[in-house]
Chain A
Amino acid sequence: MELSITVNGAPHVIDVRPHATLLSVLRDSLFLTGTKRGCDEGECGACTVLVDGYAADSCIVAALSVNGSRVDTVEGLGGQHGDLDGLQRGFVEAGAVQCGFCTPGFLMTLTAFMRENPNPAADEVRMAIAGNICRCTGYSQIVDAVRIAVANRPQ
């Protein structure tokens, strides 16, 4: 079946199987492998992308259900020459990346969250990322990354 989506600003028309997930379309059809597959049941958050601006677990989103939507993945966060956005720089500075496998999901969850909450308190950040699992860091550095990104944001 035919799926029309705009991914990171670029329109795509893709032939997909009826049961294909958004995750499999992103990874296997568009080769956007920054979005990770961790559990296939919406528990770990590694596959988080933005669908029309809202964070969603792409492993449990039927691709055809987002026909016509705008999808943003981690590949779309930085600039054209590989430069990082403010939140990504915050992650680097805070040491919020260890193995890095969960990082794209955290970045997308927080990108959506910070649009609504530009100056969040630490406990609000912790609640916002409660649907993303990081097994390496113990989370504090991810909370720090948000604080650093907020502090470094151009006024």
Chain B
Amino acid sequence: MVRYEGEPIAGVVAEDEALARDALTAIAVELEATPAVGDIEAAVAPGAPLVHPDWRGYDVAFDYPRNGNVAAELNSDPDPEALANAFKQADLIVEAEYRAPRQYQAYIEPKSALASWESGRYIVHTASQFPFNVRDQVASFLGVRVSDVRVIGHHIGGGFGAKLDAGLEPYAALFARAVGAPVKIDNDRTEDLLTCGCRENAVVRMRTALSSDGRILARDVDCLMDNGAYSGEMPFMASLPMHVFGQVYRSGPTRIRCRLIYTNTAPTGAFRGVSGTYLYFALERNMDECALRLGIDRRQFRIKNLIGDGEATLVGQVLSDAGLLREGFDEIERMAPWSEVSRKDASPGKLVGVGIAATTWLTNPGAGSVTLKLNEDGTVGLVTAATDNGSGAVTMGVAQIAAAELGVKPNDVVIQMPDTDSAAYDAGSQGSRTTHVVGRATLAAAAEVRQKILAIAGDLLEAAEADLELADGAVRVKGAPSRSVTLSQVATEALRSGGPIAAAGSYATPLPAFNPSCATGLLFPTFPTPTYHVHLAVVEVDAATGQVKVVRYVVAQEVGKAINPDAVRGQIQGAVAQGLGYLLYEGLDIENSRYKQRTLETYRLPLAVDIPNVESVLMEHGDSAGPYGARGVAEPPIVPVAAAVGNAICDAIGKSINRIPIRPDDILEAIDVDGRLEPA
């Protein structure tokens, strides 16, 4: 059965690409058409065709609620009586529906894989964010042990979540064994787009009960998320509303239902910020609508309902430092005072609006490791399967930490590319985890290497270890810098006494406590190592054309400790650009189960002329577990962007637009309800 356009059904191996494409046309496929469903709302309607008629018989990794086209379902309604009472006693109920499209990661390097079969093992070369996951998925596909597969990582031409799962690698490995020669598969752009695990489209319906003095009394949330035809990690995403709707604002008794829906479309998957991007859009658009209906200032309304230090989220996780959200609002106020940016000095024909949005996000806790060795020339070798997905987390962050601990220059840390044969497990470049988790593993490895260095240097210098320091590639006696030995001398001496200097360090973030009975279907229970974010946008809307220009974009972000401040700001700038693309330009439209946009010509990405310089303030309240206090940094700055800019646009035009993307046509249509605003 073919369940989506782009699903692999046959393959051709040839000596070059042109020959392979010619041979493909020689394959005749006879398909019998059966009813399909390409839309999440149609898929849950009574009588909808089942994407997986045999879903009951499937082997799933965890036992979670499933039913027909509902691939996974989360339900939470801890106090139905309190919820009903709150809605009964509310002074105001705000009800709305929010929509978001699929977003294609559109990394500039399409996916590619090269595999060979050598001495009974599969060797796979790939630019993956998560080599160990690729190893496991290739082994599972081929029915071999994971140790029969070796994955060698390469520089990644962008991934943003789409290169966490295996894509072409299992097929390359299968074909390589079948033909007895190395096989390479390259996606062209359309193949890549059609089969990519894009950010899912979704519908979020929300009712909010309010008191006239501006308190949120209760909330009722219903989400439909598009799973596509097959599930990867999407069942985990159905848990995200449980986090988003309780970790920024107090909302009283809260009922949440989230259904992940099978459709006859490409499987959806991880894209930076995952479901948080549109869930926060829904939450923060709702916050604006609540404040406007109550006649309360939108910023004040938020601050009044912010959670604080030590409050628990809907899953029962206690956020000891959630008061940092308030500090984020204060930092934004210092950079862009609300009363000033709300003044709206518009030029003729333009409408100016301001939007603000807050986010609590996590640092992925997955396990990682590092091996450090002292090379005989005094440089430091660093072996890890952690990957650098363009963020610099390994080549800058982790390398800087190793360099600082061992007193060498960052350029003298020699990093091996990821290799599942030589490095221990690493949970991949996802959820901003690398600097935090692998950095922490680096500290552990460095402490042991440092100890070995000091023991040998102490002998060479006839000094107590406590009197030694590591700096400038040497070990020196404190206060007597002329008494020193180079790390090269130490490494060479080690070969005669005790053997080469090397050590490994490992780390995985302990998971926070939570309340397991808060919901059913809660596969993603906690948000470890939380980070806090407030974003503000000022936009100018052209009343005649509907074009949006982002005039100012301001970010306050809790980073724990910025190991490399320029790299942190670079991640914020790039994440905001992706968020602006999401809100203003991008989106895959699905028609008859097929994408309408199929190349970069029709899938409109943000360009240099579209993106402002982002102003950011880095808040540094160290996390006690992080290396030097560092928390995750790179993923979350995309999360509040659609919310902040969406609110700014709606403020500018005085109308609600509750769907992503907001394109010029949508703006003109919204304005047009009571007549186009004429340019002054």
Q: A residues bordering B, Cβ < 8 Å? A: 17, 36-41, 43-44, 46, 95, 98-102, 125-127, 129-130, 132-143
Bound Cα distance from A43 to B668, whole angstroms: 28
Contact with A along B383-411 (1 / 0, CB 8 A): 00000011110000000000000000000
Q: A133-B607, A135-B605 are in contact. Are A38 and B109 (CB under 8 A)?
A: yes
A140 and B607 in contact, given A43-B600, A46-B108 (Cβ under 8 angstroms): no
Residues in B whose Cβ lies below 8 Å from that of A126: 608-609
Is B291 an interface position by the 8 A CB rule?
Answer: no
- Distance between Cα atoms of A12 and B238 in the complex (Å): 57
Interface centre among B107, B110, B566, B607 (most CB of A within 10 A): B607
Question: In whole angstroms, how far apart are the Cα atoms of A101 and B578 in the complex?
Answer: 17
Q: Give the residues in chain B near A127, CB-CB below 8 Å.
A: 608-609
**A38 and B609 contact, CB distance less than 8 A:** no
B158 and A39 contact, CB distance less than 8 A: no
B607 contact set on A, CB distance < 8 A:
130, 133, 139
Chain A contacts for B576, CB-based, 8 A: 138
* Residues of chain A lying within 8 A (CB to CB) of residue B601: 41, 43
Min distance, Cβ B475 to any Cβ of chain A, angstroms: 31
Is B149's CB within 8 Å of the partner chain A?
Answer: no
Contact of A101 among B109, B570, B599, B611 (CB under 8 A): B109
From B390, B573, B599, A140 is in contact (CB under 8 Å) with B573
Residue of A with least CB distance to B580:
A138
- Among A17, A36, A99, A125, find the residue whose CB has the most chain B CB atoms closer than 10 A: A99
Q: Write out, one digit per residue, whether chain B residues 97-115 have a CB within 8 A of any chain A CB (1) or not (0).
A: 0000000011111100000
Is the pair B574, A98 in contact by a Cβ cutoff of 8 Å? yes
A41–B189 contact, CB under 8 A?
Answer: yes
User: For residue B122, which residues in chain A have a CB less than 8 angstroms away from its CB?
Assistant: none
User: Are A136 and B109 in contact (CB-based, < 8 A)?
Assistant: no
Interchain CB contact under 8 A, A99 and B189: no
A46 to B158, CA, bound (A): 13
A84 to chain B, nearest CB (A): 15
A40 and B189 contact, CB distance less than 8 A: yes
Interface residue from B109, B570, B608 paired with A98 (Cβ < 8 Å): B570
B interface residues with partner A (beta carbon < 8 Å):
18, 105-110, 155-160, 188-189, 389-392, 566-567, 569-570, 573-578, 599-601, 605, 607-609, 611-614
Looking at A36, A41, A125, A136, the one whose CB has the most chain B CB atoms below 10 A away is: A136
Secondary structure dominating the interface of A? loop
Partner of A99, one of B107, B566, B575: B107
Q: Which residues of chain A have C-beta atoms less than 8 A from B599's C-beta?
A: 39, 41, 43
Least CB separation from A28: chain B residue: B16
Chain B, residue nearest A132 (CB): B608
A38 to B570, CA, bound (A): 22
Given the interface contacts A40-B189, A101-B108, does A138 sit within 8 Å of B574 by beta carbon? Answer: yes
Q: What are 6 residue pairs bridging A and B, where the CB atoms are less than 8 Å apart in the complex?
A: A39-B599, A99-B155, A132-B608, A136-B158, A139-B573, A143-B608
For A125, the chain B residues whose CB sits under 8 A away are: 608
CA distance A12 to B614 in the complex (A): 46
CB contact between B158 and one of A40, A129, A135, A141 (< 8 Å): that residue:
A135
Contacts of A130 in B (CB 8 A): 607-609
Q: Bound complex: CA of A41 vs CA of B597, how far in Å?
A: 14
CB distance from A143 to the nearest CB of B (A): 7
Given contacts A95-B570, A138-B573, A141-B573, contact A100 B600 (CB under 8 A): no
Instruction: List chain A residues, Cβ under 8 A from B575.
Output: 138
Shortest beta-carbon distance from A140 to chain B in Å: 5
Given contacts A100-B390, A126-B609, are A140 and B600 in contact (CB under 8 A)? no
Contact B157 A138 (CB under 8 A): no
**B-chain residues with CB within 8 Å of residue A40 when the two chains form the complex:** 188-189
Shortest distance from the beta carbon of A31 to any chain B beta carbon, whole Å: 15
B583 to chain A, nearest CB (A): 14
Are A44's CB and B600's CB within 8 A?
A: yes
Q: Which residues of A contact B574 (CB under 8 A)?
A: 98, 135-138
| Cβ B390 vs Cβ A136 within 8 A | yes
The interface centre, meaning the residue of A46, A98, A132, A138 with most chain B CB atoms within 10 A of its CB, is A138
- Complex: how many Å from CA A17 to CA B16? 13
Given contacts A135-B158, A140-B614, A36 and B108 within 8 Å (CB-CB): yes
Inter-subunit contact A101/B600 (CB<8 Å): no
Tell me the nearest residue of chain B to A46, going by C-beta: B108
| Contact, CB under 8 Å: A99 / B390 | yes
Q: A44-B108, A130-B609 are in contact. Are A100 and B157 (CB under 8 A)?
A: yes
Whether the Cβ atoms of A36 and B608 lie closer than 8 Å is: no
**A41 CB contacts on chain B under 8 angstroms:** 189, 599-601
Measured between alpha carbons, how far is A140 from B607 in the docked complex, in Å? 11
* CB proximity of B270 to chain A, nearest CB, Å: 15
Contact partners of B107 in chain A: CB under 8 A: 99, 101, 135
C-alpha gap A72/B157 in the complex (Å) = 22
A139, B611: Cβ atoms closer than 8 Å: yes
Tell me which residues across on chain A come within 8 A of B157, comparing CB atoms: 36, 99-101
Name the B residues within 8 Å of A36 (CB-CB).
Answer: 108-109, 157
Shortest Cβ gap from A24 to chain B (Å): 9
Minimum C-beta distance from B633 to chain A (A): 13
User: In the bound complex, do residue B611 and residue A138 qualify as a contact, i.e. CB atoms below 8 Å apart?
Assistant: yes
Q: Which residues of B contact A101 (CB under 8 A)?
A: 107-109, 157-158
In angstroms, Cα B564 to Cα A98, docked, is 13
Give Cα A138–Cα B553 distance, bound, in whole angstroms: 12
Please state if B110 and A38 are interface contacts (CB–CB under 8 Å): yes
User: Closest residue of chain A to B105, judged by CB?
Assistant: A135
- Give A75 Cβ to nearest chain B Cβ, in Å: 16
Q: Which residue of A lies closest to B607 (CB)?
A: A130
**A105's closest neighbor in chain B, by CB?**
B108
| Bound: A139/B188 CA distance, A | 25
CB-CB nearest in chain B for A42: B601
Q: Which residues of B contact A98 (CB under 8 A)?
A: 390-392, 570, 574
Interface-centre pick from A130, A134, A142 (highest chain B CB count, 10 A): A134
A135 and chain B: residue at smallest CB distance? B158
Instruction: Name the distance in Å between B148's Cβ and chain A's nearest Cβ.
Output: 30
Q: Which 10 A-B pairs have the closest CB atoms?
A: A101-B157, A99-B390, A138-B577, A138-B573, A98-B390, A43-B600, A139-B608, A126-B608, A138-B574, A39-B600
